[in-house]
Chains A and B, each alone.
Chain A
Amino acid sequence: DAKTTQPNSMESNEEEPVHLPCNHSTISGTDYIHWYRQLPSQGPEYVIHGLTSNVNNRMASLAIAEDRKSSTLILHRATLRDAAVYYCIPIQGAQKLVFGQGTRLTINP
């Protein structure tokens, strides 16, 4: 399993962009980079995933470094509902999700 390093916590203001970094320097060539988030008192929620190219969906954007050793989850306009713990998870195919400590994101009104 690839090791990941994420900041323990980050803080941002409502309606501002948020950039959540993740270092995964031991990632293998076939690992997809997945991001999940867990809102308070809920199960984790899939956010986005990618392999090499940057990816966008209705929730967020994923920017992947050219060497794939790091990635950044981008929330373009944070809302209070985006306050959660964000997990970066390299995973190959149908393998189990290995959650680290994640980044606790606080959004200020």
Chain B
Amino acid sequence: DAGVTQSPTHLIKTRGQQVTLRCSPISGHKSVSWYQQVLGQGPQFIFQYYEKEERGRGNFPDRFSARQFPNYSSELNVNALLLGDSALYLCASSFQGYYEQYFGPGTRLTVT
């Protein structure tokens, strides 16, 4: 079975630009969560979606937004990029939002 997939793998953007990251969950998983991992630190929770509704939001500014589509895939959008947004963005899916989460390989975003 295919795992969680994310695209693109790597991305380079300039300060002030906008970026959209994409995630496809494992088949049958209806919950998707997004995490940001800055180099040398553990992942930090950004959003959780279940059945297309936002179920949780971490301590991130409004420049960060997300949505989940009817096929349960998800997009994370970040506007007005800052240098500090450079990080690995991880997507995780889970069955009915419970217990173990399965992570994708991440999208490495570099803001210059």
B100, A94: Cβ atoms under 8 Å? no
Binary contact readout B82-112 vs A (1 if CB under 8 angstroms, 0 otherwise): 0000000010101011111111111000000
Interface majority SS (helix, strand, loop, mixed), chain A:
loop
Which of A9-17, A19-27, A40-48, A72-80 faces chain B? A40-48
Specify which chain A residues have a CB less than 8 angstroms from the CB of B55 in the assembled complex.
94
Instruction: Convert B8-37 into 0s and 1s, putting 1 for each residue whose CB lies closer than 8 angstroms to a CB of A.
Output: 000000000000000000000001010100
Contact partner of B100 (CB less than 8 A), chosen from A34, A100, A101, is: A34
Q: A44-B43, A102-B42 are in contact. Are A97 and B101 (CB under 8 A)?
A: yes
Inside 8 A of A44's CB, which chain B residues have their CB?
43, 90, 92, 101, 103
Give A38-82 interface residues, CB cut-off 8 Å to B. Answer: 42-46, 49
Interface residue count on the B side (C-beta < 8 Å): 28
Which of B58, B90, B98 contacts A43, CB < 8 Å?
A: B90
Binding site for B on A (CB under 8 A): 32, 34, 42-46, 49, 85, 87, 93-102
Beyond A94-B96, A97-B35, A99-B35: 11 further Cβ-contacts under 8 Å? Answer: A32-B99, A34-B100, A43-B103, A43-B104, A43-B106, A44-B43, A44-B92, A46-B100, A96-B33, A99-B44, A101-B41
Q: Which residues of B contact A (CB under 8 A)?
A: 4, 31, 33, 35, 41-45, 48, 50, 55-56, 58, 90, 92, 94, 96-106
